[in-house]
Amino acid sequence: MEDLVNIFVKSVFIDNMIFAYFLGMCSYLAVSKTVKTAVGLGAAVIFVLGITVPINYLLENYVLKSGALVWISENLIDIDLSFLSFIMFIAVIASMVQLVEMIVEKVSPALYGALGIFLPLIAVNCSILGGALFMQERQYSTITEATVFALGSGVGWFLAIVAIAAIREKIRYSNVPAPLRGLGITFIITGLMGIAFMSFMGIQI
């Protein structure tokens, strides 16, 4: 249990997707003009990460990893399909996003109204594929750990985009040098927030 809390806190604050790895920056910059849309996109990211990372975890451990096919037959122990992982991960992500979109549309029109336009954007959000690749690189030992990591990363991303959206709403009233307006100042603020987030480094629970 302690391990799980640790993974969660670590992926929210220390290994924050935005401030430490710049993943999902494109949509982070494009959709952070108002808090409301930022909340929608952030929620969609948590949701999709929470679904795709566990699936990719199973894929990684039962199909792709070297010797992972042993559960079919002992003869397959030498097979290493890990070079296929990029294409498998992105296929899972793209199809899951499509599937989730259809299910949400059917089951909960209200949620679809809130998330709807953001879901297609997410297939190409680097943080989703990044989540899968970090999961692969860090080799979590159980699917629970991988899921907790995914949710933590999602929450970290959510926090980051909501925070920047709130700041951008306020900064409209300040006198920023003209060439820096919009994109430039957002970069600088993100940089400063990243420096602030670095103070979380080394926290252990």
Partner 1 sequence: MAEKKEALFSKKNRKLLSDPLDSANPVSVQVLGICSALAITVQIEQAFVMSLSVLAVMIFGNIIVSILRNLIPSRIRIIVQLVVVAALVILVDEVLKAFLPDVSEKLSVFVGLIISNCIIMGRLEAFALGNKIWPSFLDAIGNAMGYAWILIVVAFFRELLGSGKIWGFQIIPESFYELGYMNNNMMILPPMALITVALIIWAQRNRNKELIEEN
**Contacts to partner 1 by CB under 8 A:** 19-26, 29-30, 83-87, 89-91, 94-95, 98, 120, 123-126, 128-130, 133-134, 137, 172, 177-185, 187-188, 190-195, 198
d(CA 203, CA 4): 14
- Taking the C-alpha atoms of residue 42 and residue 95, their distance in angstroms, rounded to an integer, is 20
How many angstroms separate the CA atoms of 189 and 168, rounded? 9
Compute the distance between CA of residue 124 and CA of residue 168 in angstroms, rounded to an integer.
24
Determine the length of the chain.
205
Nearer to partner 1, 5 or 184 (CB): 184
DSSP 8-state class, residue 10: I
CB of 198 vs partner 1, minimal distance in Å: 7
Minimum distance from CB of 6 to partner 1 (Å)? 21
Quick one: 196 or 203, whose CB is closer to partner 1?
196
The minimum distance between CB 144 and partner 1, in angstroms, equals 22
Smallest distance from partner 1 to CB 199, Å: 12
